[in-house]
Amino acid sequence: MKNSFKILATVSVVFLLSFSMYAQTDSWSGAWDTKYGKVTITKNGRAYAGTFPKGQLIDAREQDGVLIGKYTRLDRAPYQNSLGKKGEFRFILSDDKTKFDGYHKSETDTKWGSDNWNGVKVWGTVLPVIVSPNLPTVANPTWTGTWESTNGDIFKILDTGEKKNSITKVYAKISVKVDGTIKSYDVKGYFSSDKPAVFEGTIYQANGWDVGFMIVEYGALKIDDFTGYMWFSDDKKPSISAHRTSSAKPSVKIF
């Protein structure tokens, strides 16, 4: 009987080590922060696919640490960046597997663009709230309300409650300082059922053109606070943090 247990234990350890080694070979799966928003990559067999704000990665495969494939954009609004409507991409993974150097070539380009599509691995967490001495749990996030940053930026966010395929629509009206000037924008975004504490959305001007992207995480530091980043047409990715000043339902544009 003892020998049987030893054999079973040995087989279990070998299986777990093999599974661990196999799991570690895939360094691409997960979420990555990029100038064009969060890129989420998944693997199915040897094939890879992905999504980014109003776009997707298709026909992707890995070759010697380089992920290559095609992308398409779903947004019908005028394209104000070098991605265009569709094209090819090439992501080169760093040695520490925490970032990649990205390149893209739209369908109208004859060579790879100089406007890089670099990415940094996302390691997002939500700190637990202790509700009893023995039972830690994550706070249930609610996005509706008015949030204000330390430098006076205002974020009026509305969780519509409209859920489809695990995605809930969220809209916002933001007043933020850009190049020293306070500007107002509309935001259309969402959060997913598996990550309700993370809200990401596309930033629009009044004329309907998308000019940027934001991704923020509720409760990353403490309850009723969020932290994250905003991207606009340049390479800057300013960090943002704000505190909820009101839980009242704000008036925002639904589009």
- At 11, the pLDDT band (50, 70, 90 cuts) reads very low
pLDDT in tens, 156-178: 999 998 888 889 999 999 999 87
- Sign of the Cα torsion 168, 100, 239, 112 reads negative
- pLDDT higher than 80, residue 42: yes
Instruction: Give the pLDDT band (50/70/90) at residue 235.
Output: low
Residues whose CB falls within 8 Å of the CB of residue 139, separated by 6 or more in sequence, listed in order: 126, 129, 219, 223
State the chain's mean pLDDT as an integer.
78
Write out the two tokens for 168. 């809930």
Could you state, in order of their start, the residue ranges of all structural domains in the chain? 28-121, 128-246
The CATH number fitting domain 28-121, selected from 2.60.40, 2.40.128, 3.40.50, 1.10.20: 2.40.128
DSSP characters over 234-246: SS---EEEEEEEE
Class of the CATH-defined domain 128-246 = mainly beta
The Cα–Cα gap between 116 and 128 comes to 36
* pLDDT higher at 26 or 64: 64
Token look-up 């406007």 returns: 115
Q: Within 10 A of 187 (CB to CB), how many other CB atoms are there?
A: 25
In percent, the amount of the chain with pLDDT more than 70 equals 75
Residues with Cβ < 8 Å from 151, sequence gap 6 or more?
177
Asked whether the beta carbons of 182 and 175 are under 8 A apart, the reply is yes
CA nearest neighbour of 191 among 177, 220, 173, 171: 171
CB atoms within 10 A of CB 238: 12
CA torsion, ordered 226, 29, 54, 60, to nearest 10 deg: 160
Looking at the DSSP bridge assignments, the partners of residue 100 are: 93, 119
What is the amino acid identity at position 46? R
Task: Spell out the residues 6+ positions from residue 195 whose beta carbon is closer than 8 angstroms to its own.
Answer: 124
Residues 114-140: tens digit of each pLDDT:
678 999 888 543 334 334 445 444 445
Task: Answer whether 28-121 and 128-246 agree in fold.
Answer: yes
pLDDT at 154: 95
